[in-house]
């Protein structure tokens, strides 16, 4: 393997670019409301495309809006080493989630070019379109590239800013949705994919470590649970005779949350009931219906399946105890996504070469890397999130940590671009 001096990022340039992208779709003083397939999104994508071209990268935007910037390698015909993330935000969200990954990838490849470091494989920076759910489809652009999203799904999904289908929103934003199959990438053309992301949790900040090397991105089960009881007068119906759907839902949530808290730490299991409603929804009426959403995540798909079984058994028990009927409807099922050992080794070596301390951790969030894992080995770098906050305008990462991440990315990308190194 070729040996190079550690590649240092241009901090001033990175800060200027980060601040510039943060003004497009700004929400309040520190946040972003920059949803994919909108004029604001196209504006930031064009801005980043200009920076790619200034860096000497050959750029293209595919039919659905994914942006690529390519630097050729020294050996023809080899698959690409790709790095990047997304430029869209939640509505509202923060200015670090996504853009930090795109700009560090750009800086890494740009600095490799500026120091004239030789590499066999071509390098490619990508800005995926529509990673966030605010677009209407989670990990939209990367799912298209992996061939995991079809026309029917795009036509059924609603794009919130326009109220139209995602299919039509692509067209309105200048894309060609009818050509979405042309966007699919081939496995033979990809060697490895790396994504830098803010941690979205407190582990790195607590440990005072700037670099996290991800071992696994958790899987997710997501859906809704419905409870059917009997409406009644709030004053007229004694407590003993009630079939209160809302209280059944509350009892269910407390019991399952306690079970998840008892799950072994190695499973990294989390549970969120993010939406709750009671019907008909009035002070003086005992709720005859209730609906709760759930988001269950774990490193272990087997543990997730076991907890789903427990959810169903608990639901049956609460049905009998409270005189209600319950129903589980799954809407999302993502398998856990392990990072490649070869890329993890490359990242560990890169952290050592650039003198940035690191630790290994898991990702509780789902990322574009999970979709690209269907095509090639993947790896992820985390940088600290202050107070663990993300998906909020208060999201913050120290810029020194972003710079450290860019330097680790540059070293790892260069190492993986050696044809003798396995991903």
Domains of the chain: 11-218+336-416 (3.40.630.10), 219-334 (3.30.70.360)
Q: Give the other-Cβ count within 10 Å of 11's Cβ.
A: 15
pTM: predicted TM-score of the whole model, two decimal places = 0.91
Distance between CA atoms of residues 90 and 251, nearest Å = 31
pLDDT of residue 258: 98
pLDDT greater than 90 at residue 188 = yes
Grade residue 330 by pLDDT with cuts at 50, 70 and 90.
very high
Unique residue bearing structure tokens 């809006």: 65
Q: How much is the average pLDDT of 124-146?
A: 95
- Residue 392 makes CB contacts below 8 A (sequence gap 6+) with 31, 92, 93, 94
Q: Give the other-Cβ count within 10 Å of 40's Cβ.
A: 18
Q: Give the other-Cβ count within 10 Å of 118's Cβ.
A: 12
Q: Which of 160, 95, 103 is nearest to 127 (CA)?
A: 103
Q: How much is the average pLDDT of 102-115?
A: 98
Burial (CB count <10 Å: 0-12, 13-18, 19+), residue 228 = middle
User: Which tens digits make up the pLDDT trace of 71-88?
Assistant: 999 999 999 999 999 999
Report DSSP letters for 90-152, one per residue. -TTEESSTTHHHHHHHHHHHHHHHHTT---SS-EEEEEES--SGGGSSTTHHHHHHTT---HH
Distance between CA atoms of residues 321 and 332, nearest Å = 29
Q: How far is CA 394 from CA 205, 219, 286, in A?
A: 16, 26, 38
Grade residue 4 by pLDDT with cuts at 50, 70 and 90.
low
Distance between CA atoms of residues 309 and 218, nearest Å = 19
Q: Using alpha carbons only, what angle is made at residue 421 by residues 418 and 423, rounded to the nearest 5 degrees?
A: 115
Q: Which of 301, 284, 368, 305 is nearest to 83 (CA)?
A: 368
Q: Which of 243, 214, 10 is nearest to 107 (CA)?
A: 10
Unique residue bearing structure tokens 């080995």: 377
3-class SS at 263? coil
pLDDT of residue 1: 46
User: 3 versus 342: which is more confidently predicted?
Assistant: 342
Distance between CA atoms of residues 269 and 330, nearest Å = 18
Contact 144, 86 (CB under 8 A): no
Unique residue bearing structure tokens 């709030």: 234
Q: How much is the average pLDDT of 219-237?
A: 97
pLDDT of residue 6: 85
Contact 133, 90 (CB under 8 A): yes
Q: How much is the average pLDDT of 207-223?
A: 97
Q: Which residues are bridge partners to 270 per DSSP?
A: 297
Q: What would the two tokens of residue 219 be? A: 């899987």
pLDDT greater than 80 at residue 2 = no
Q: How much is the average pLDDT of 21-41?
A: 97
User: 191 versus 133: which is more confidently predicted?
Assistant: 191
Contact 64, 137 (CB under 8 A): no
Burial (CB count <10 Å: 0-12, 13-18, 19+), residue 255 = middle
Q: How much is the average pLDDT of 164-174?
A: 97
Q: Which of 313, 383, 407, 420 is nearest to 14 (CA)?
A: 407
Residue 14 phi, psi dihedral angles, 5° rounding: -60, -40
Contact 410, 111 (CB under 8 A): yes
pLDDT of residue 134: 84
Q: How much is the average pLDDT of 109-135?
A: 96
Contact 129, 68 (CB under 8 A): no
Share of the chain above pLDDT 70, in %: 99
- Residue 77 makes CB contacts below 8 A (sequence gap 6+) with none
Q: Which of 159, 134, 117, 183 is nearest to 412 (CA)?
A: 117
Report cis status (omega within 30 of 0) of the bond before 280: yes
């Amino acid at each position: 393997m070729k040996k190079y001096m550690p590649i240092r990022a241009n901090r001033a340039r990175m800060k200027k670019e980060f601040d510039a992208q943060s003004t497009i779709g700004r929400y309040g003083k520190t946040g972003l409301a920059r949803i994919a397939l909108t004029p604001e999104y196209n504006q930031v994508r064009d801005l980043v495309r200009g920076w790619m071209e200034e860096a000497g990268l050959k750029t293209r935007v595919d039919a659905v809006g994914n942006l690529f910037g390519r630097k050729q390698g020294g050996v023809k015909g080899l698959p690409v080493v790709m790095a990047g993330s997304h430029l869209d935000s939640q509505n509202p969200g923060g200015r670090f989630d996504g853009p930090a990954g795109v700009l560090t990838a750009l800086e890494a490849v740009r600095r490799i070019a500026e120091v004239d470091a030789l590499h066999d494989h071509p390098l490619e920076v990508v800005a995926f379109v529509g990673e966030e759910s605010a677009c209407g489809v989670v990990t939209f652009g990367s799912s298209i590239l992996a061939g995991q999203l079809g026309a029917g799904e795009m036509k059924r999904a609603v794009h919130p800013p326009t109220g139209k289908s995602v299919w039509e929103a692509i067209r309105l934003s200048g894309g060609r949705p009818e050509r979405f199959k042309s966007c699919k990438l081939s496995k033979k053309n990809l060697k490895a994919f790396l994504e830098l992301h803010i941690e979205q949790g407190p582990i790195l900040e607590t440990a005072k470590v700037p670099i996290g090397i991800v071992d696994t991105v958790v899987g997710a089960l997501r859906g809704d649970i419905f409870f059917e009881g009997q409406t009644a007068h709030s004053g007229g119906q004694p407590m003993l005779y009630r079939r209160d759907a809302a209280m059944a839902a509350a009892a269910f949530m407390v019991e399952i949350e306690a079970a998840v808290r008892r799950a072994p730490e190695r499973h990294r299991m989390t549970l969120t009931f993010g939406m709750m409603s009671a019907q008909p929804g009035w002070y003086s009426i005992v709720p005859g219906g209730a609906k709760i959403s759930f988001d269950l995540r774990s490193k272990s798909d087997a543990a997730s399946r076991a907890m789903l079984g427990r959810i169903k058994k608990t639901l049956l028990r609460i049905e009998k105890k409270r005189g209600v009927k319950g129903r589980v409807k799954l809407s999302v099922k993502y398998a856990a996504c392990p990072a490649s050992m070869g890329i993890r080794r490359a990242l560990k070596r890169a952290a050592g070469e650039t003198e940035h301390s690191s630790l290994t951790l898991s990702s509780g969030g789902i990322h574009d890397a999970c979709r690209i894992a269907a095509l090639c080995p993947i790896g992820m770098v985390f940088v600290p999130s202050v107070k663990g906050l993300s998906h909020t305008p208060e999201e913050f990462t120290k810029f020194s940590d972003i710079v450290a991440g860019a330097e680790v990315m540059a070293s790892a990308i260069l190492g993986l671009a050696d044809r003798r190194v396995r991903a």
